[in-house]
Amino acid sequence: QNRFPLLFKFLDANRTLSVQVHPDDDLASLLEPPDLGKTEAWYVIDAQPQALIYAGLKPGVDAEHLEIAARTGQTEAVLHSFHPHPGDCVFIPAGTVHAIGEGLLVAEIQQSSDTTYRLFDWNRTDANGHSRQLHLDEAVHATNYYQGPINPQKTKPTEHPFATELISCDKFAMNRWRIGSQVTIPLDGCFRLLAVTAGDLLVDGDQAGSLLGRGETILIPACLDRMTLTPTGEVEFLEISVPKKRD
């Protein structure tokens, strides 16, 4: 499909978001019109002490258990959850039941997909007593019951001393950089999406001519062979790319 492959968002959850699941590429390709699946990852920027992330099902939960829980308003009972901390990265493959809890600020990278199946909305209703639309049948069908509970990723060092690998999969890769002086990063024929999570950053060649601050993003085109970044003090940012295609 002729579309940019990724979507990036900052999510500031002032209440717990609905419980969702997304189809994988194979299932989404059968839709009318066809779509991509939606694998995603979250980077926790800030977290209140009691905030929860819901990611994956508890061991032993199958389609029947999930459907009964959803239809009786007891979905939380079958979900795995944990208290995240700033700096955590959570990988959510397509087919994983998930929700972001109240009190979390996260950066989200995902496949460019419009398909979301809402499984549960915490029994909430609007001022007229109406519930949000749910997609129970589709959600139960799209869920990967072999996935199991999901916890934060184990980070890995990279060849650069100021960069840490948060996630690398067949859909995207995300590194966290913490710098206090100028760096030059080769692009290797692939675009980069930069998202600042702390501090201010000047991107060489940016025609806007202004600092990139916390909560701001920039797309570095693949036609450049390198990018030079100059921080103002200590800066943390996310560097996101897609895997290089093999010949």
The catalytically annotated residue of 15, 71, 118, 176 is 118
For residue 194, the cross-strand partners are: 218, 239
Query: What does the chain come to in residues?
Result: 247
For residue 227, the cross-strand partners are: 185
For residue 118, indicate whether it is catalytic. Answer: yes
Taking the C-alpha atoms of residue 110 and residue 121, their distance in angstroms, rounded to an integer, is: 21
For residues 23, 26, 31 and 36, what is the CA-based torsion angle, rounded to 10 degrees?
70
φ, ψ (nearest 5 deg) of residue 84: -85, 165
Q: How far apart are the first and last CA of the chain?
A: 19
Note the helical H segments in the chain: 25-28, 63-71, 136-142
Per the listing, tokens 């799209």 go with 142
Q: What is the token pair recorded at 246?
A: 């093999």
Taking the C-alpha atoms of residue 164 and residue 109, their distance in angstroms, rounded to an integer, is: 17
- Give catalytic residue positions: 118
